[in-house]
Each structure stands twice: as structure tokens, then as C-alpha cells.
Structure 1
Amino acid sequence: MTTLLESDEHKSLREAVSAFARSRPRATGPAESRHFWQEAGKLGYIGVSLPEAYGGGGGGVTELSLVLEEMGAAGNPLLMMIVSPAICGTVIARFGTEEQKRTWLPGIADGTRLMAFGITEPDAGSNSHRITTTARRDAATGDWLLTGRKVFISGVDIADATLIVGRTEDARTGKLKPCLFIVPRDTPGFERRQLDMELHATEKQFELTLDDVRLPADALVGDEDAGLLQLFAGLNPERIMTAAFGIGIGRYALSRALDYARERTVWKTPIGAHQAIAHPLAQAHIDLELSRLMTQKAAHLYDAGDDMGAGEAANMAKYAAGEACVKAVDQAVHTLGGNGLTREFGLATLITAARVARIAPVSREMILNYVSHQTLGLPKSY
């Protein structure tokens, strides 16, 4: 499924990813998901957005979001694509030292290394300015010491390291400013606890505790004084990729519902001939297509270096895709009736998965706040 905005190269990539993902069984467990990830990495799909000099495909978020969407549409969405190449890979490629790039990017690109991303905290929620994970220098050694907590962090158990968002104190003002640190999985003082989730996903969620985690000076990614610039270099791709994730899931659910509606006959004609079935499915398709256009716009703006325009479009794309995904999954399950809740048809587990596109990485309400304040110029209530 292509659009007018796509080049011939993009269409070919979309077709190749679709053929690959559809030729593999749905990954229903961690081992299957990891195998699928490794296969995709060998084919260059995981690292398509990373620089060629470090083993990537030399593309951008446009190509990476296309890959994730087609995997989702085939029933194999990879949540960690949002995290490892899109957030962590992008941040390191843009702001990392040469050593950090050589150490991490080739492995992220070919799927042999994974990186998680830790920003959300129990008491901060959507207010990133309330992050309390702090980093301070050890004057004697020059090392960094990190202390704090994180929650709802995906895939920490399978990641080689986590890119942690901490805050350092500005010596001049005393204010805290965000900084990014690479924390290897087995670093002393870096503890994880798996959260008991109703969400059915191969990637687990964790709460992290950092108790004076000692890191070398070169664990800092980028400039200590860059602040929000570096952070949002990863958050805009995160929103774009979450949109692609939601569109892919919505397309998969819709395709299952369409197959069923064409074949299921209760009276004289297939149920898809009845407008009560056909129209909601048509509406779901329209919503998915519209959200995909905004996702492509956001990706193009980001890849063109328009961070301001990309921020607005990425938030809109994530909002639109989240809504379209939930509605498509709901209508797909409803179309199948009782069969929609059976394991055989594989749609019931998508009910909770679809909510992820609405809730994470930022809620739809916070996106509406962003648009009302930043785009429409309305005053804040907080």
C-alpha cells in the first residue's frame, strides 16, 4: 500500500519489507520476536535510518517508519524499533562521540545489539521538567554518579544498555538541565523490576532503580549544556515511529476483518455486503490513510532538518494514528463478533496493544495541549 508521496525507492522498500514480514509466522513469544529482529537486522531493515559509515542504510526516519508500518501490517510489529534505532540510534548518530558511534551504531544497525530508553518516572508522568534522576560529577575521578528511578521502560532485559535521561545542576543558576547517559545492562547499582502488565507483548516493561550508578566520563552523550535539543532529537522520531506502529496494527486488524467480511455468510450474501458492516470498515480505512499522510509529512520534515515543523507534525501524526488504530482494532473485533475474541483469529490481543499508540509515549490529551498552545496560540492552564 503506497501513496503519492513515496518515491520508487520507497515503494520498493515497502514491498520488500512486506514480503519478508508476511513470509514469517507471527511472533508470539520473546524467542520468536528476537529471531525475527535478527533476521530483519541482517537484511538491513533495523538500521535503514542510520549512517552508512556505521553500518546503516543511510536513510532517515521516513524509511524506518515505513519499515515498522509494513511489519505491523503483516502482524509482526516490533516495539523496540521505536526505541533502539529510532530514539537511541538517532541521538547517538547526531550527538555521540566518534567512539560512541563506533561502539553502538553498527550493532544497533544489524540487530546484534539493542538499546532501551529511560525517561519516564513515577512522579513526573508527562511533566519531563519534574524528572528527578540526577547526575553529579565525582571530583576525584571525573566519573558520573546517577541516582533515580524510571518506570515503564521497554525491553531492558534484552537490551545491552539503556539510554537514561538524567539531570545535572547548572553551576551558574542551580537549575537542573537534561542530559543523556549510556548505562550498560550489568552496571553495578542499576537494578530492574519487571512490571506485571495486562498488555500482551513480547517486550516486557520494567521499573528501574539507579543507586549511585558510577559511569565513566565518556558515558555522557553529546554536550552537557545542550539540554532539550538533544532530548527532542530522539522524542520526535519516537512519536513518528509510534504513529507508524499504530498504523501497522490498524492495517493488520482491518485486513483480517475484511477477509472475514468477504467470506462470512449468514443469510444470502457475505456480511460485508451490508452497510452496517461495510461503512465502519471504510471509515477505519480512511482514518488510517489520513494518519499515514501526516506521519509521512512528519518524517519528511524531520529528515529535512526542520525540527520545529517536525515537532508539530509528529505530535499530530501520533494523535491521529493512535485514534485510527484503536478504532480499526475495535471495529475489526466487532466485525468478527465472538470470533474476534478467539485465539484463532489473533485480534483480541490487539485490543490492549492498540491502546499503547494512544497512551505512549505521550497521551492524546498532552498532544491536544501542545497543539492548542504551540499551534493555535491559546494560553496554558498549567
Structure 2
Amino acid sequence: MRSSRYDYFLDDHYAALRSLVEEFAHDEVAPKAAALDAAEEFPYELVAQMARLGLFGLPFPEEYGGSGGDYFALCLAVEELARVDSSLAITLEAAVSLGAMPIYRFGTEEQRRRWLPPLARGERLGAFGLTEPGGGSDAGATATRAVPDGDGWRIRGTKAFITNAGTEITSVITVTAITGQRDGEKEISSFIVPVPSSGLTVSPPYSKVGWHASDTRQVFLDDVYVPADHLLGDRGRGYANFLAILDEGRIAIAALAVGLAQGCLDEALRYAGERHAFGRPIGAFQAIQFKLADMAARVHTARLAYYDAARRMLAGKPFKDQAAIAKLYASDVAVCNARDATQIFGGAGFINETPVARFWRDAKILEIGEGTSEVQRMVIARGLGLPT
């Protein structure tokens, strides 16, 4: 268990939440994480427990079924979960910051009252359909199209790498689609697509390197009909709105990366005290001490970066650049700490029975998902005023 040495940054209610989720992660998640990972099994029971704790509603007002907290509270919960299991952490992060948040940020009052309460209570999960097979980091290369049909729209296209798209409790996928031309450019709008819908199918789960217990699939939309009131936000603002959602999401992904990096440090510290070589605990050797010191320094700095971005966001200040910095740095820290923890474990770290092997497999995607490291550098460079 981590001491409270970081809680001096936090107001009492944040510290209490962090402690609550830490206890849940330690007592309920950690004992099950390895088995769920090995079986590639979605953690329905743990998701239900998180719902009862109110974690899916953390940033939403109580009037929409939420807990009345804020986005920083969500990030604290994601960090603590990721210390023991990134699959569960990404399930929460994607359900809230990607699945439900677009409806809260850009939906009409009727849409919020209709769709948000079951998502905020954790009874249902939402998914975020932006990425396409031919697009990747070029989110503007959207090929999915929506054409008017009577009092609604018909949507045709494919979305790729969509988290929470095919669970038994998925109820909605928000998707972007071309709805016309504006000033010679694609007009991209966003829509609420209920699950199930006629013409909507999802692939079997991907066979992934990591995040084995999370749900990730392709989504196929074959003339899916949605009524006019399922348009999410203003027509033509879908691309811009979804990019704004990603700016926020990068703070939460940074928190997840910090949690994984902290988990690597936790495990490596424990092992360095237990494993003996040449008659001494390996933690007595300077080579190991220096690795652990570097790991601790990385975690500390990455945590400060995402705290800063979150505080700016909550204060209504510009945070786009700080979110990109936090995501870029924290994801690199996660990969580095996973590598060093594996090295400290030696051969045992290459065996899937050890948590650090799972952390190692889970870390790499953090440099890719919700904006690659290269995209983060582009964002940061633009913020510096460099030519585009």
C-alpha cells in the first residue's frame, strides 16, 4: 500500500476518494487482475462494484445520476486502479471521459437526461467512435458518412480500436461522420448511436498485446438509422468537439500512466527487499537503488504534470498544451518504469505470473492511444508558436 505522502497536494475530499479507490484496488482488484488478464475476460463483477462506489459518475452532476465531483476526481480514481490493473482503469476512463463525456459536454438537456443517468450510475457503458481503420492519428480523415433520411440520418462506415464497444452492458456509441461539405472541406458531425441498432455490428474482441481484460473492437455501421434528435452537438462541430474531448482525455490517460508507473515502483521495491543475491537483498546494491530512484523521480514528476493540467482545466484556464505534455511524459515514464521493473525482477519479470510482466505489456499502448507521442509533440510545438 502506498503511504499518504502525496496527499498533501489534495483537499480532504480528494484524499478520501484516493484512499477509497486505493483500498478497493488493493483488496478487490489486485487479487483478480492476473486471472482476468490470462482469461482475457471482461471484469463485469468489478465494474459493478465500481458502479456501487460511484466511480462512473465522478465528474457528473447529481441531477444526471452522477456523484457531483469533477474531472480531477476521475483522474485520481483512474491512477489508483492502474496501480494494479490497467484493463480496469481504461474501462473506467473510456466509459467516462470518452463514452459519457461527449453527451454531457455537447448534448441537449433532453439528451443528457435520457442517456447520462445509466452511464453515470455505471449500469451501462458508453463508447467513443472516432478512429477509423484508414485514419489512425489523422482523425480528420473520417470516411464514415451520414446522409439525411426523412426525419433522421443513415450512417455507414467503420470505426476501429473502440473501447467498451461490445460488452453486455454497452448502451451507446458516439460516432463522427461526414454530413456534407462546408467551405470546400468535410463537414463532420457527431451522433448518438444506441446499442443495439439495426445495421450496427461489432467484431469479436481484438487479440491484443496488453489490456487483455478490457473490451476493444471494430464497429461496423451498415445504414444505421438514427432520428434527428440523435445529432450530438451542432451540425459540423463533431470533429472539433471530439478533439476537445481528447484534450481532456489525455489528462486521464496521463493519470493512468502514472498509476502503472507507480505500480511498477511498488512491485520493484517489494521485490528488491525480498530477493537475495550474494548474501544480501538486491535492494542493497547501488545499481538497483539507482534504478529505483530514477523510477520514483519519474513518477513524482509525471504526477505533478497531470495534476497541473487537471487544475488548469478545472480553473477554466487553457490546458491543451499542458495535457499534451502530461500525456507525452507520463506515457514515456510508464514504459521506462515497466522496463526497469522487469529488469529488477530479472528472469521472473519475463514470466506472466508476475505483475510487472503484465505492466510491461500494458504500458506500450499508452504511447499510442488517445493521441500518439508524435501527435503530442505536434500539439506542444504548435503551442510554442512554431510554424505548421
State TM-score, norm by structure 1: 0.93
User: Is this contact kept in 2: 1:200–1:353, CA < 8 A?
Assistant: yes
1:26 paired with 2:36, answer no
From 363, 379, 382, the counterpart of 2:387: 379
RMSD: 1.8
State the partner residue of 1:49: 59
Per-residue deviation, residues 291-350 of structure 1 (Å, max 9, x unmatched)? 1111111112222233xx221111111111100001111111110111112233222122
Q: What is the alpha-carbon distance in structure 1 between the residues aligned to residue 353 and residue 210 of structure 2?
A: 18
Report the Cα offset of residue 160 of structure 1: 1.7
Structure 2: segments with no counterpart, 5+ residues: none
Amino acid at match of 1:119: L
State the partner residue of 2:294: 283
Per-residue deviation, residues 88-131 of structure 1 (Å, max 9, x unmatched)? 32221122122221222221122110011111111112112211
Report the Cα offset of residue 218 of structure 1: 1.4
From 76, 80, 87, the counterpart of 1:66: 76
From 142, 147, 150, the counterpart of 2:151: 142
From 336, 347, 358, the counterpart of 1:327: 336
User: Is this contact kept in 1: 2:232–2:238, CA < 8 A?
Assistant: no
Structure 1: segments with no counterpart, 5+ residues: none
From 89, 94, 98, the counterpart of 1:83: 94
User: Is this contact kept in 1: 2:209–2:362, CA < 8 A?
Assistant: no
From 225, 228, 232, the counterpart of 2:243: 232
Q: What is the alpha-carbon distance in structure 1 between the residues aligned to residue 42 and residue 201 of structure 2?
A: 26
* Residues 335-374 of structure 1 aligned to structure 2 (within 5 Å): 335-372=344-381, 374=382
User: Is this contact kept in 1: 2:62–2:68, CA < 8 A?
Assistant: yes
Amino acid at match of 1:185: V
User: Is this contact kept in 2: 1:87–1:237, CA < 8 A?
Assistant: no
Amino acid at match of 1:334: Q
1:10 paired with 2:2, answer no
Q: What is the alpha-carbon distance in structure 2 between the residues aligned to residue 103 and residue 152 of structure 1?
A: 26
User: Is this contact kept in 1: 2:128–2:163, CA < 8 A?
Assistant: yes
Report the Cα offset of residue 186 of structure 1: 2.1
User: Is this contact kept in 1: 2:180–2:188, CA < 8 A?
Assistant: no
Pick closer, same or farther for the CA change 1:95–1:61 going to 2, 3 Å: same
Amino acid at match of 1:8: D
State the partner residue of 1:205: 216
User: Is this contact kept in 1: 2:258–2:333, CA < 8 A?
Assistant: yes
Q: What is the alpha-carbon distance in structure 2 between the residues aligned to residue 189 and residue 305 of structure 1?
A: 40
User: Is this contact kept in 1: 2:179–2:236, CA < 8 A?
Assistant: no
State the partner residue of 1:187: 197
User: Is this contact kept in 2: 1:120–1:152, CA < 8 A?
Assistant: yes
* Number of aligned residues: 374
Task: Give the match's secondary structure for 1:206.
Answer: strand
Task: Give the match's secondary structure for 2:89.
Answer: coil
Report the Cα offset of residue 15 of structure 1: 0.9
State the partner residue of 1:297: 308
Pick closer, same or farther for the CA change 1:189–1:75 going to 2, 3 Å: closer
State TM-score, norm by structure 2: 0.91
Amino acid at match of 1:294: A
State the partner residue of 2:281: 270
Amino acid at match of 1:362: G
Per-residue deviation, residues 206-227 of structure 1 (Å, max 9, x unmatched)? 2222122111111111221434
Report the Cα offset of residue 234 of structure 1: 1.5
Report the Cα offset of residue 75 of structure 1: 3.6
Report the Cα offset of residue 368 of structure 1: 1.0
Per-residue deviation, residues 218-243 of structure 1 (Å, max 9, x unmatched)? 11112214344422332122111111
Task: Give the match's secondary structure for 2:51.
Answer: helix
